[in-house]
Amino acid sequence: MSVVHQLSAGWLLDHLSFINKINYQLHQHHEPCCSKNEFTTSVHFESLQMDSVSSSGACAAFIASDPTTKPENDDGGNYEMFTQKFVFRPELFDVTKPYITPAVHKECQQSNEKEDLMNGVKKEISISIIGKKRKRCVIFNQGELDAMEYHTKIRELILDGSLQLIQEGLKSGFLYPLFEKQDKCSKPITLPLDTCNLPELCEMAKHLPSLNEMEHQTLQLVEEDTSVTEQDLFLRVVENNSSFTKVITLMGQKYLLPPKSSFLLSDISCMQPLLNYRKTFDVIVIDPPWQNKSVKRSNRYSYLSPLQIKQIPIPKLAAPNCLLVTWVTNRQKHLRFIKEELYPSWSVEVVAEWHWVKITNSGEFVFPLDSPHKKPYEGLILGRVQEKTALPLRNADVNVLPIPDHKLIVSVPCTLHSHKPPLAEVLKDYIKPDGEYLELFARNLQPGWTSWGNEVLKFQHVDYFIALESGS
């Protein structure tokens, strides 16, 4: 379970536990004369078994991999099976200190009078090279004034609800005071830079010869398949319907595919295979690449304009009474766009606004709650697709609870950019069980979900996982 504690205010989540409960296990077949290392380097497409596991996090019990004799190979010899277990790298959730300490934040705020804020004037302190301080007054723009007004409305809700959940986490030991873990050495996180560039692959796919209708059909991965190529995956929904996790190789890079998952690797200009999938979805989660100043200044991340986001064919993808959940930054411009333009254009009625609150392993906000620059929370706007006809709903016989407003999702964030916490367990009371679930602009896969995006396999890269040592 990714839900550690549930109170009336919301949920305290363990994102790392959610990933590791899939419990990736690699079953390797090889002949006794070959070493395990020799076999591992020759594998192109493998199967990983999924077992149940406790939600105790990354360091769940290691499963030894004693070899088992398997059926004979073509030469009459016996195969052996070795089990290799993978877990997500726990250091990627090692957030021991706030990104900005409250002491520094408080010092920078000492000159800001409440009267100045009400008058739309802010005082900034800048330190010169020789250490002298000078003050300058800057007029707040309308966006900043709107953000301050919004923060004032939800501040107490964020603070009180988060503290309740954090106290429960400290009592249970899921969260811990910083001094209790000070002997734990924090090693620098190093990830390989030479990983597959998924957006470039999507761009490459546009220049391939047009595929005929048969080739646009769903690609179902089978256990025995050892010849899946990059071109096989382009412009097709790929399904892993087995109870095994599989490994595919793209441009020399390996990615883990959870069981019962499916995905489409493409950008927004090539969504037709998803429409051809002939499925409609009971839940659609969207994490759009919102445009902002820092993204525009950087070449690292792409973004979409509001017009491009409105063109996503939600009405064709949504089942009757579909629950739509959109992640949004704290810019009031984006919040208003979703509520006043985007959802109405899709015939979606806003039903609730939730908040993701990011904390450290010791229960501190990752940014000071009243920071004028970055807040320790982000928003989720929940809505229901409104039916234009009186046809019976697909899930009319299922009782789901009404969605409450201003729920909190509190968790330690992954240090990887835009790796959002899972929503499956917090939404379960408000959605049809055993429904069809879709995530748009996804960067990882989940069992039971269809995922789409031009980086849909990003966090499935094998280098984000640790292969535990296995016995021979």
Residue 130 has pLDDT above 70, yes or no: no
| Of 120-129, 179-188, 235-244, 355-364, the least confident | 120-129
Which DSSP letter does residue 363 get? S
Task: Report the C-alpha gap between 290 and 326 in whole angstroms.
Answer: 11
pLDDT-derived band at 209, boundaries 50, 70, 90: low
**Is pLDDT above 90 for 157?**
yes
Q: Which helix (H) or strand (E) holds 203?
A: helix 198-206
pLDDT tens-digit series, residues 89-100: 999 999 999 987
| pLDDT recorded at residue 467 | 86
Looking at the predicted structure, is the pLDDT value of residue 176 above 50?
yes
Nearest 5°: the CA angle 56, 45, 232 is 115
Written as six digits, the tokens of 311 are 């063109």
Ranked by mean pLDDT, the top range of 41-50, 140-149, 208-217, 273-282 is 273-282
What pLDDT, on a 0 to 100 scale, did the predictor assign at position 297?
Answer: 46
Specify whether the CB–CB gap between 370 and 150 falls below 8 A.
no
The pLDDT tens digits of the residues spanning 241-268 come to: 888 788 888 888 889 998 899 999 999 9
Reported as a single tens digit per residue, the pLDDT across 297-320 is 444 457 899 999 999 999 999 999
Amino acid in the structure at residue 29? H
Confidence band (pLDDT; 50, 70, 90) for 190?
A: low
Cβ-based neighbours of 335, under 8 Å, separated by 6 or more: 150, 328, 379, 381
Determine the Cα–Cα distance for residues 408 and 379; give it in Å rounded to an integer.
9
The predicted pLDDT at position 398 comes to 61
The string of pLDDT tens digits covering residues 425-436 is: 999 999 988 899
- Where is average pLDDT lowest: 29-33, 51-55, 271-275? 51-55
| CB count in 10 Å sphere of residue 281 | 23
Which stretch of 46-55, 334-343, 463-472 has the lowest confidence by average pLDDT?
Answer: 46-55
If you average pLDDT over every residue of the chain, what do you get? 78
Alpha-carbon span 94 to 416, nearest angstrom = 11
* Residue 38 predicted with pLDDT over 50: no
Overall average pLDDT of the 396-408 stretch: 82
What percentage of the chain has pLDDT greater than the value 70? 67
Q: What are the domain boundaries of the chain?
A: 1-21+166-177+200-388+398-466
Confidence (pLDDT) at 171: 96
End-to-end CA distance of the chain: 32
Q: Identify the pLDDT of residue 336.
A: 95
Closest CA to 69 of 54, 57, 80: 80
Distance CA 88, CA 215 (A): 34
Provide the pLDDT confidence category of residue 69 given band limits of 50, 70 and 90: very low
Give the predicted TM-score (pTM) of the model: 0.81
State how far the Cα of 247 lies from the Cα of 27, in Å rounded to an integer.
Answer: 11
User: What pLDDT sits at residue 278?
Assistant: 87
Provide the pLDDT confidence category of residue 65 given band limits of 50, 70 and 90: very low
Burial of 284 (0-12, 13-18, 19+ CB in 10 A): buried
Q: What is the structure's pLDDT at 206?
A: 67
Most confident of 51-55, 197-201, 276-280, 336-340: 336-340
Q: What architecture does CATH give domain 1-21+166-177+200-388+398-466? A: 3-Layer(aba) Sandwich (3.40)
Residue 126's pLDDT is 38
Q: Please report the pLDDT score of residue 49 as a whole number.
A: 44
CB within 8 A of 288, min separation 6: which ones?
304, 309, 326, 327, 440, 441
Give the separation between CA 272 and CA 140, rounded to whole angstroms. Answer: 44
Could you give the residue ranges of the DSSP H alpha helices within 244-331?
272-275, 293-297, 306-310, 314-317
**Which range scores top for mean pLDDT: 205-209, 232-236, 272-276, 349-353?**
349-353
Angstrom CA distances, 429 to 235, 304, 354, 357, 425, stand at 34, 32, 15, 21, 8
Q: What is the mean pLDDT of residues 158-166?
A: 97
Confidence of residue 368 (pLDDT cuts 50, 70, 90): very high
CB 247 within 8 A of CB 257: yes
